[in-house]
A = this chain, B = another copy of it.
Amino acid sequence: MVDTAQRPATLPTPEAPETSGDTGPITLNSDLAAAQVDVAALGRQLLGTWADVRIKAREVTARPDMQRIEGLSMHDHRLRVLEQLKVLAANGHVHRAFPKHLGGSDDHGGNIAGFEELVIADPSLQIKGGVQWGLFGAAVLHLGTKPHHDKYLPGIMDLSVPGAFAMTEIGHGSDVASIGTTATFDPDTDEFVINTPFRAAWKDYLGNAAKDGIAAVLFAQLITQGVQHGVHAFYLPIRDENNDFLPGIGGEDDGLKGGLNGIDNGRLHFTNVRIPRENLLNRYGDVAADGTYSSSISSPGRRFFTMLGTLVQGRVSLDGAATAASALALTIAITYGSQRRQFTAGDAEEEVILDYQRHQRRLFPRLATTYAQTFAHDEFLVKFDEVFSGKADTDDDRQDLETLAAALKPLSTWHALDTLQEAREACGGAGFLAENRLVGLRADLDVYATFEGDNNVLLQLVAKRLLTDYSRKFASADAGALARYVVQQAAGRAYHGSGLRTLAQTVTDFGSTARSVGALRDTNVQRELLTDRVETMIGEVAGHLRSANKMPKKQAAALFNSHQNELIEAAKAHAELLQWEAFTRALETTVDPGTKRVLTWLRDLFGLGLVEKNLAWYLIHGRLSSQRALSVTAYIDRLIARIRPHAQDLVDAFGYSQEHLRATISSGIERERQDEARDYYREQRASGQAPAPEKPAKPAKPAKK
């Protein structure tokens, strides 16, 4: 590396008086510096509702035989992960969601909590396990009926029947309703005939399809008596005892991927493959021997959404796994940043890189987001458990759960990629070495952004829901409803409708920056700023789209498309609000005052970070004056400095040991090397043996004015 920079350095100044002319005087609290994080208690809080399951899972992920080995060939990696799956099948780690009478424990939330921890061992393990038990097995469980359960689940659970989840087609990713594969009922033989009508209808990207799978749950258009009843799921053997494809079935290996190469993704196609009628997973739709179709759900659209809705757990698990990976990355980068020294302010000793403002700016907001996601994920998991355990599974509950999934999964999976990359860059060249794990994790998690629903498509689902809610409330002519609809997205929070207007109207009154900063610290002000933005964005788009239902279809679609970007941004804002709300609720349950204080700074950093990111919106819409907008950034700078002394505690609380981190640079080796170098120079100076400088010392200085 070539570099000529003398980076001006500094010491940490967490509680230094004003450093920016923009921020005005603040009240110095003498106990700020004294705030301490109770790492153990915070760690317990972060583990969440299924803490015991997670602790057990972390014992599994700490086992070397369950972990990824960097640099394995695709072939060897696949073999290794398959062996690891057998361990999971044997120890029951992956059976929690299955029925008690088959050896499971009907524990849906705990099941996901345990699954998502596997990402720390190897994302391929998490995802291949997810394919087997979370998709293939769950489809039999949720779309099949008791005969299917009794017949198929035992083999799925114990992995004697590895299977694929054959939904996605090469021509149809996120648009499942449009898949081309057909299952046509033949009453003469009492069979379904499966066909792939054209190349674009090949099933693709299916885990377990290239090599290990001997069966599949296949999604196809069900046709009987000349009528197409939409997408249904079928149980289908695909390979024989020699692991050769059964007659009429063909396929290809997807080959090397950007990551997750421990999973044998592949393609499948079908030519007149016949399966017995009872292989239709018939919970939501059935065909009688004479070919008569019946369903408990009369609307084909609602039936489709209900069937697919049972598979939401994939998204839940990705949200949790992405958040765990972000936490791991930040633990590595912040630990390293606390030990690594580079550049000097002219003193003999170099500065710790985490003391540089830019380094803090790069890592701490991402830490705040990771905390928000951790808390939001636990609430999400509770909601999922309530729906799947039957505790609260009305249609509304299920729709709320799906909207929550569609909102949170995109944000957390994108955040993981962003955080892993920033952490990698923050560790410099060392971050690029496979031994320090960041590059491998990033490569594996890349596809989380587009599988189980493309992130952009999911956010459009959220936007549609917001628009629908808006239009319902609006149509009902209840003036207050408009102000309340977003509230319902985040159940349980107190919404001060009047505060919102007050904030907007009195913004010009905030002449004093000090008062302005004070207001930004206020939980209700943050809530109002964030809530108001979602409401207003949706209201604006709804206004633009109002004329759509009077238009010809094509024109209406064009109008909608011209607001697509805004809609997705509104959905993001909504999801961020949900995360902020969860963080805020978590604060309420934090007992230790020191921990609560530091966590509040972190929550403020998250909330004000969202405001800063969208500052233009707040200015344009008159929600913030220029004066106050400036104070947002200034206050974020101050929060970052306050958080600095607690950064290590905040990542330690995630609870990952060296067995989980497995990164050379976070093992303490960097501190040893730095100490050795400093000792060397100290001794040299003390001994008088140090070579003289060519010219008298002329330390680097900051640029003079």
Contact = CB atoms under 8 A, between A and B. Distances in A.
B626 A205 contact: no
A102 B434 CA distance: 40
Interface in A676-705: 676-677, 680, 691-695, 698-699, 701-705
A548 to B, nearest CB: 5
Interface in A149-197: 167-168, 170-178, 180, 197
A694 B626 contact: no
B432 A257 contact: yes
Contact of A176 (B3, B178, B548): B3
Interface string A603-633: 0000000000001100111100010011000
Given A2-B312, A173-B429, A433-B257, A357 B561 contact: yes
Contact of A357 (B402, B564, B698): B564
Given A173-B1, A548-B704, A228 B699 contact: no
Interface in A406-462: 417, 421, 424-425, 428-435, 438-440, 442-443, 446-447, 449-458, 460-461
B620 A562 contact: no
A534 interface: no
Contact of A431 (B19, B432, B450): B450
A142 to B, nearest CB: 12
Interface stretch (A48-56, A300-308, A646-654): A300-308
Nearest to A693: B228
B357 A565 contact: yes
A229 B626 contact: no
B180 A677 contact: yes
Contacts of A346: 553, 557
A702 B548 contact: yes
Interface stretch (A68-76, A513-521, A584-592): A68-76
A272 interface: no
The contact size tier of chain A is: 35 or more
A451 B1 CA distance: 5
A11 to B, nearest CB: 6
A226 B684 CA distance: 13
Contacts of A619: 616, 619-620, 626, 629
B452 A2 contact: yes
B1 A453 contact: yes
Given A554-B11, A691-B228, A704-B549, A1 B452 contact: yes
Given A10-B562, A431-B450, A692-B226, A703 B545 contact: yes
A458 B564 contact: no
A256 interface: yes
Interface string A203-226: 011000000000000000101001
A350 interface: yes
B173 A3 contact: yes
Given A345-B554, A701-B556, A562 B673 contact: no
Contacts of A545: 702-703, 705
A16 interface: yes
A676 to B, nearest CB: 5
19 contacts: A2-B311, A3-B176, A3-B457, A6-B175, A11-B557, A21-B543, A170-B673, A171-B341, A199-B676, A230-B694, A258-B443, A357-B564, A357-B565, A424-B446, A432-B450, A549-B704, A549-B705, A616-B616, A621-B626
A4 B219 CA distance: 13
Interface string A353-372: 00111100110000000000
Contacts of A178: 343-344, 350
Given A200-B677, A471-B704, A7 B254 contact: no
A544 B637 CA distance: 15
Max count, chain B CB within 10 A of own CB: residue among A258, A304, A449, A699? A258
Contacts of A440: 258
Contact of A9 (B362, B430, B443, B557): B557
A674 interface: yes
Given A1-B454, A170-B673, A345-B553, 19 more contacts: A1-B452, A2-B176, A3-B452, A4-B402, A5-B174, A7-B457, A16-B558, A199-B676, A221-B691, A300-B693, A346-B553, A346-B557, A347-B554, A358-B456, A429-B451, A546-B705, A548-B703, A549-B705, A559-B702
A693 B692 CA distance: 89
A456 B361 CA distance: 12
A546 B704 CA distance: 7
